[in-house]
């Protein structure tokens, strides 16, 4: 197809900090890499499910062969980075005399560990006052050595300088940023993702797809992020169905890990949009996993946005494998919306909001829309959006 001209702001900044390493079996290099960072006494941050599945053992077996001391495994992390669990993780680190962290898990685990490392590096005891500040840049310091093994291919948290924490009392998710909270090295080992159940593989993959699409359509989009987003979209449409249906398929798992990381690199610079704002509200009030909430809201927000930036949605459709040659950009962009619906059906994600307890009660939906319109990501949506618009999008997804 003939690519449409894409406008972008003549001034932008691109940030990228973590070193990224990729290989099946890469965990065998953990001790050497941590030694290069100066770490000698490591705590592992993970969740109980990964311990039970044997994934954590796959890493600890390599640590035990080395000179790196493993001084503790903190496996109390639950869905969402809860502030109370963050504070417990800090106590655990100090109690065991650790000087570095190894993180094994998905987005909730990685976000929790990132918050713990901020507290350790900057000498705090309670994350709640930091969450209230949202942006922790003015006095930010380099933090203790931190290596992450993502075990899902969705969140991109190993790359991003943002954290989403859950304030349990307010039933609200809060985004916090710190320039050094992401890991020093992201070790992408697809063998660690093969035990991920199909449904979680599916909705974490939709999380990565959302990052790529919102990164591509954000008001802060720029050429570097465009390139990463479009290739991530291409990889996700090629490999996500195989990763869901063939859990041991290392090729599919590896490409999904790479897609997730590329999408993370993109959206950490360009931000996201209304899908994330709507999903954060659903997670805070109904406990719906973030990737699943993103997957439910994505096609509805795309349909709302497509006529605002049709050329960008045309490129997205092309990356998805749609034949858009010779088409009007708006019609081509609408093919991208249809392709997302088809992908969700193929990987078994047919959930609606009603399946997760959201009703068409006006007060419930209004409360969700009120939360979403105040979310930090809403300002990056390509089409201007008001609370009434968000209410209608929620109704579409019931």
* Predicted confidence (pLDDT) per residue in 310-335, tens digit: 999 999 999 999 999 999 999 999 99
At 350 the pLDDT is 93
pLDDT of 5: 80
Q: How far apart are CA 227 and CA 319, in angstroms?
A: 11
Alpha-carbon gap, residue 40 to 391, rounded angstroms: 52
CA distance 150 to 190: 9
Would you state the pLDDT for residue 174? 86
pLDDT of 132 reads: 87
Name, in order, each residue with C-beta under 8 angstroms of 81's C-beta and a sequence gap of 6 or more: 108, 111, 112, 115, 163, 164, 165, 166
Largest Cα separation within the chain, whole Å, is 64
Reply yes or no on whether the pLDDT at 374 is more than 90: yes
What proportion of the chain, given as a percentage, has pLDDT over 70? 99
**Lowest mean pLDDT: which of 166-170, 229-233, 250-254?**
166-170
Rg (CA), the chain: 20
Which DSSP category does 123 fall into?
T
At 247, is the secondary structure helix, strand, or coil? coil
Cβ atoms of 145 and 18 closer than 8 Å = no
Angstrom distance (rounded) from CA 287 to CA 379 = 24
pLDDT confidence bin for 35, thresholds 50/70/90? very high
Write b or e for each residue in 56-68: b if 16 or more Cβ atoms lie within 10 A of its Cβ, otherwise e.
Answer: bebbbebbeeeeb
Neighbours of 200 (CB within 10 A): 18
| Strand intervals (E) in the chain | 19-22, 41-45, 69-74, 81-82, 100-105, 146-150, 162-167, 172-177, 185-188
User: Do 187 and 147 form a contact (C-beta atoms < 8 A)?
Assistant: yes
Phi, psi of 163 (to 5 degrees): -135, 140
Beta strand pairing status for 185-188 and 146-150?
parallel
Average pLDDT in the 54-62 region? 97
Burial class (CB in 10 A: 0-12, 13-18, 19+), 177: middle
Within 10 Å of residue 348's Cβ, how many Cβ atoms? Answer: 14
**Residue 295 half-sphere exposure, CB side, CA atoms within 13 Å?**
28
Q: Who contacts 122 (Cβ-Cβ below 8 Å, separation ≥6)?
A: 139, 140, 141, 143
pLDDT in tens, 217-237: 999 999 999 999 999 999 999
pLDDT of residue 32: 97
CA distances from 28 to 23, 33, 55, 67, 143 (A): 10, 10, 14, 13, 24
Burial class (CB in 10 A: 0-12, 13-18, 19+), 156: buried
Q: Where are the alpha helices (DSSP H) in 218-289?
A: 223-245, 250-270, 274-286
Q: Which of 154-163, 251-260, 364-373 has the highest mean pLDDT?
A: 251-260
Average pLDDT, the chain: 95
Strands 19-22 and 146-150: unpaired
Question: pLDDT band at 183, cuts 50/70/90?
Answer: very high
pLDDT at 355: 95
Tell me what pLDDT residue 138 has: 85
pLDDT of residue 134: 80
């Amino acid at each position: 197809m003939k690519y449409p001209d894409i406008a972008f702001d003549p001034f932008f900044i691109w940030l990228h900090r973590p070193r990224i390493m990729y290989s099946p079996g890469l965990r065998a290099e953990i001790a050497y890499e941590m030694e290069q960072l100066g770490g000698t006494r490591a705590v592992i941050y993970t969740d109980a499910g990964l311990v039970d599945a044997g994934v954590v053992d796959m890493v600890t077996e390599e640590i035990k062969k080395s000179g790196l001391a493993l001084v503790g495994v903190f496996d109390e992390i639950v869905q969402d980075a809860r502030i109370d669990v963050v504070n417990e993780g800090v106590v655990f680190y100090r109690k065991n005399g650790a000087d570095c962290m190894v993180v094994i898990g998905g987005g909730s685990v990685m976000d929790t560990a990132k918050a713990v490392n901020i507290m350790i590096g900057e000498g705090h005891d309670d994350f709640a006052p930091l969450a209230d500040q949202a942006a922790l840049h003015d006095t930010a310091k380099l933090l203790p050595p931190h290596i992450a093994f993502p075990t899902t291919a969705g969140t991109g948290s190993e790359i991003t300088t943002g954290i989403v924490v859950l304030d349990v009392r307010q039933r609200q998710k809060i985004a916090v940023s710190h320039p050094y909270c992401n890991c020093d090295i992201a070790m992408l080992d697809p063998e660690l993702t093969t035990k991920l159940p199909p449904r979680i593989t599916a909705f974490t993959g939709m999380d990565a797809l959302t990052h790529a699409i919102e990164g591509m359509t954000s008001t802060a989009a720029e050429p570097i992020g465009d390139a990463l987003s479009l290739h991530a979209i291409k990889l996700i449409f090629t490999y996500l169905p195989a990763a869901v249906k063939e859990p041991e398929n290392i090729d599919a798992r590896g490409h999904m890990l790479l897609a997730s990381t590329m999408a993370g690199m993109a959206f950490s610079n360009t931000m996201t949009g209304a899908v994330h704002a709507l999903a954060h509200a659903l997670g805070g009030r109904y406990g719906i996993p973030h990737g699943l909430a993103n997957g439910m809201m994505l096609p509805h927000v795309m349909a709302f946005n497509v006529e605002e930036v049709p050329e960008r949605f045309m490129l997205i459709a092309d990356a998805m494998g749609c034949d858009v040659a010779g088409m009007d950009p708006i019609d081509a962009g609408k093919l991208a919306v249809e392709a997302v619906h088809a992908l969700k059906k193929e990987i078994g994600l047919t959930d609606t909001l009603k399946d997760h307890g959201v009703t068409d009660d006006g007060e419930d939906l209004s409360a969700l829309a009120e939360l979403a319109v105040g979310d930090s990501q809403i300002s990056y949506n390509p089409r201007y959006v008001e609370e009434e618009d968000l209410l209608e999008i929620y109704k579409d997804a019931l």
